[in-house]
Amino acid sequence: MNKMKLLPRMAYRGVRQNKQVYRPYLMACVFSVFSYYLFSSLLHNDLMERLPKAAYAWMMLSIGKGLLSIILLLFLLYAGSFLQKRRKRELGLYSLLGLERKHIGIMLLWENAGLYAVSVSVGILLGFVLNKLMFLLLLRMSQLNVEVAFYFSLEAVLETLRYFALVFLCVYVRGLMSFYRLKPTELMAESKKGEKEVKRIWLWSAAGVILLVWGYYISVTSRLDSMIFTDFFLAVFLVVIGTYFLFTSGSVAFLRFLKARKSIYYRPANQVTISGMLYRMKKNAAGLSNICIFSTMLLITLTCTVTLWTGMDQIAYYDYPYDVQAAYSEHSDVTEKAGKKAQELSVKYGQEIDRLDCYNVMELVCGRAEGSNSFLSAGDFAFADQYAVTLLTLDDYNRLEGQDTCLEEDQVLLYSTGTAFGFDKVNFMGVEASVKEEPERIYPYPQAKNRMFNFTSQYVMVVKDEEALTRFATAWAQVNGVTDLEDFLHRGVRHLCLKLAGKESQRGAFAEEWSKWCQGQQDFLWIKDGLAGREEDRSMNGGLLFIGMVFGILFFMCLLLIMYFKQVSEGYEDQNSFEIMQKVGMSDAEIKGTIRRQILLVFFLPLAGALLHTAAGLVMVNGLLAALRFFDTGLLIRCCAGVAGAVALLYAGSYLMTAQTYYRIVKR
């Protein structure tokens, strides 16, 4: 038979004979195609452009697709390396039997072409069937109400075909390069070889520790400011590199240290276990570092997703504490009319009025150095040290909070939405006053619960009366070079704010009519729609939730498949060792116990590292979530603990499932 006709059959037979490792790889490819097609199909859906307030969800999906394309390429290259290692002995045998290298290259091309065809066909078909369901899930998470029609995107299909053609080409070229650089006899032995042992182990171990500590330090000391995202990527990079160094060198250095201790090493159970682990660590530490990194990514992704889901309402109400907020010039007479109109609409729409607040404020921008009790001109400070300071009279404060507080002429209440002010006296543009108290809350100005974030924080200074407010405002105007003082002092704003507590179905109609009424009043300045603002926040966070869910499933699949490939690879390598140990007198129970201890220690070491990475990264995650207006650190810790427990159970289940494959191969 012609060789060129025989090669496709040989490629098919090679996949069929190695189905134990090709089956999970093909599943990984199908899931990867499905995930990529899903993102591409959603982005190419014309409905996304017409949806109200869907810009945030579209932006999140675009970012997620970019990250997904990088992760899938790296993962499939890594998974493909296990297949290439298993096939090298077979390819070496083909070479020894006389098959030319170019023919083997063509056979591998047929093999990759077949895997590509099956993967994209099944993956796109699966995405085609579930596309509407996933789009409905995205709309549900983003809380966007719209009728969904069936939609098929040819652009998404073509984009998916092009991307995975590139991925499979990279896998093929990498496999071909590893095949061509070795002689047939070397290929026969290559499948038994593991990762090369790193030289200068103690040096690389020390480098790994330094990089990890550096990454942890950046994470723990990070602050919610403009550098938070730069710090995040730097910390992730340092931790990933540090993890790789520690698993490839630090673990071997530690086992060598134990082996050098005679009192520990020369015990029957310890000797076999330490020797076996030392052998396994030398050969497979790179794989363990990948398991650790994927476990960390899974923990962080699920923690953020669960926390966002449970804290959605808190985020929505942080920027929009009122359903409708209107502003007027400070001398407007809207207050007297507002109560009557609100009662009229509450009867009409069956709504309860939770709050109807009317108060005057003077909003100023000041500069304040960290650790100082002085507010100075904002022009003398960088943006990070500039804060909004709102002047509020005591009467308005007492009315807002239902208090009966009294102030002396030179006293103020000073409230911070971020870090507490922390001084008994305040110097405001040269005017000094005593800080009687720092209130725990002022309703329209939500506060970060842990009070550690300064980013976008503001201060509210409660003064005794209008005369005191004028004194502070005048000081600000003089320092900042305001020429028309009289006009400036009349720039105060009267806020008319409404919050409802009735049925959601009627709240929008009430707010719409109330908004129209507010805009028709004298001295109207602007209006803020809290209901629409919350919907936009939920849309953005819903897009993040959807991405977090998809990426969480993706990372878990990657983790499971890497564990499976490692167990299969090590099982074939340990067959001879298992047989030799039986011949030298070790019982089957002793051998099983030794292998069980080795596998448990080796596979749960990455989980311990992942939990440590997650604990160190929790401070930075707290800061990143704070950028989305989530400040409940206690809820974040509880979510992280729950996720860690669930992932540990999944990890243990995955270990038990993949370990059975290992035992079956070894016993064979």
- Can you give the pTM of this predicted structure? 0.74
CA–CA gap between residue 146 and residue 539 (Å, rounded):
13
pLDDT value for 426: 93
pLDDT of 85 above 60: yes
Q: Say if 97 falls within a structural domain.
A: yes
| Angle at CA of residue 86, ends 275 and 12, nearest 5° | 160
DSSP per position, 600-663? HHHHHHHHHHHHHHHHHHHHHHHHHHHTTT---HHHHHHHHHHHHHHHHHHHHHHHHHHHHHHH
Residue 538's contacts (CB-CB under 8 Å, 6 or more residues apart) are: 142, 143, 312, 316
Token duo for residue 468: 């005191």
Select the more confidently predicted residue: 101 or 74.
74
Q: What does the pLDDT read at residue 419?
A: 79
User: CB–CB of 341/347 below 8 Å?
Assistant: no
Give the least confident one: 160-164, 268-272, 297-301.
268-272
The burial class, CB within 10 Å (0-12 / 13-18 / 19+), for 233 is exposed
Host domain of residue 65: 1-193
Confidence label for 184 from pLDDT (cuts 50, 70 and 90): low
Residue 153 is given by DSSP the state -
The answer to which of 145-149, 222-226, 332-336 has the lowest mean pLDDT is 145-149
**Mean pLDDT calculated for residue range 173-185:** 71
Determine the average pLDDT of the residues in 362-377: 89
Structure tokens given for 193: 């070889």
Q: Scanning the structure block, which residue is given the tokens 């006709």?
A: 5
Whether the pLDDT of residue 375 is over 60: the answer is yes
Q: Which residues touch 422 (CB under 8 Å, ≥6 apart)?
A: none
User: With 60 as the cut, is the pLDDT of residue 668 above it?
Assistant: no
Contacts of 392 (CB under 8 A, 6+ apart): 359, 360, 361, 442, 460, 461, 462, 463
Averaged over 240-251, what is the pLDDT? 78
pLDDT score recorded for residue 507: 83
Greater model confidence, 545 or 373: 373
Given a cut of 90, whether residue 139 has pLDDT beyond it is no
Rama region for 377: left / alpha / beta (φ>0; ψ in -120 to 50; rest): beta
Confidence of residue 436 (pLDDT cuts 50, 70, 90): very high
Residues 6+ apart with CB under 8 A from 575: 665, 666, 668
What are 332's two structure tokens? 């407007």
Q: CA 65, CA 72: separation in Å to the nearest integer?
A: 10
Decide if 217 is inside a domain: no
Whole-number pLDDT of residue 138: 64
Checking if the pLDDT of 393 tops 60, the result is yes
Residue 22, CB-side half-sphere exposure with 13 Å CA sphere: 18
pLDDT of residue 451: 45
Residue 272, domain member (yes or no): no
DSSP state of 370: T
Q: What's the whole-number average pLDDT of the chain? A: 79
Structure tokens at 73: 């390429």
CA distances to 117, 253, 255, 282, 566 from 249, rounded to whole Å, are 40, 6, 10, 8, 19
Beta bridge partners of 390: 363, 460
**H or E segment and range at residue 562:** helix 530-583
pLDDT for residue 5:
67
Judge whether 626 and 222 are in contact, CB under 8 Å.
no
Asked whether residue 627 carries a pLDDT value surpassing 90, the answer given is no
pLDDT (mean) for 467-494: 88
Domain boundary among 193, 210, 227: 193
| CA nearest neighbour of 556 among 299, 229, 234, 260 | 299
Could you give the number of structural domains in the chain?
Answer: 2
Q: Looking at the predicted structure, is the pLDDT value of residue 329 above 70?
A: yes
Residue where a domain terminates, one of 487, 512, 530: 530
Predicted confidence (pLDDT) at residue 162 exceeds the cutoff of 90? yes
Separation between Cα atoms, residue 56 and residue 54, nearest integer Å: 5
- Which region holds residue 481: left if phi is over 0, alpha if psi is between -120 and 50, else beta? left
**Per-residue model confidence as pLDDT tens digits over 403-434:** 899 998 889 999 988 878 889 999 999 999 99
Q: Which residue has the higher pLDDT, 257 or 428?
A: 428
Comparing 119 with 599, the larger pLDDT belongs to 119
Residue 351 C-alpha from the chain's centroid: 39
Strand, helix or coil for residue 528: strand
Residue 124 belongs to some domain of the structure: yes
Given a cut of 80, whether residue 519 has pLDDT beyond it is yes
User: Which residue in the block uniquely carries the two structure tokens 């500590």?
Assistant: 213
Whether the per-residue pLDDT at 660 is higher than 90: the answer is no
Which residues lie closer than 8 Å to 533 by C-beta, 6 or more apart? 319, 320
Residue 324 near residue 515 (C-beta atoms within 8 A): yes
Asked if 324 and 527 count as a contact pair (C-beta separation under 8 A), the reply is yes
Block residue for tokens 């035992």: 663
Give the distance from CA 381 to its chain's centroid. Answer: 33
Is residue 308 in some structural domain? no
Tell me, what's the pLDDT at 577? 66
Mean pLDDT value across residues 230-258: 78
Beta-strand relationship, 425-428 and 431-437: antiparallel
Tokens 């009349």 correspond to 490
Convert 91-127 into a string of H (helix), E (strand) and C (coil).
Answer: HHHHHHCCCCHHHHHHHHHHHHHHHHHHHHHHHHHHH
Cβ(195)–Cβ(248) below 8 Å: yes
- Give the separation between CA 622 and CA 639, rounded to whole angstroms: 12
Question: Of the candidates 193, 209, 236, which is a domain's last residue?
Answer: 193
Tokens 């996949």, located at residue: 15
> What single DSSP character describes residue 53?
T
Closest CA to 292 of 602, 70, 639, 31: 602
Going by DSSP bridges, is the β-strand pair 425-428/493-500 parallel, antiparallel, or unpaired?
A: unpaired
CA dihedral 118, 122, 125, 130 (to 10 degrees): -160
Q: Is 585 left (phi over 0), alpha (psi -120 to 50) or beta?
A: left
Residue 201 lies in a domain: no
Question: Has residue 399 been placed in a domain?
Answer: yes
Answer yes or no: is 259 within a domain: no
Long-range contacts of 103-107 (CB under 8 A, 24+ apart): 103/3, 103/7, 104/179, 105/176, 105/179, 105/180, 106/4, 106/7, 107/7, 107/8, 107/10, 107/11, 107/14
More confident residue, 590 or 492: 492
* Dihedral (Cα; 558, 562, 564, 566), 10-degree rounding: 180
Give the whole-angstrom CA distance, residue 176 versus residue 87.
12
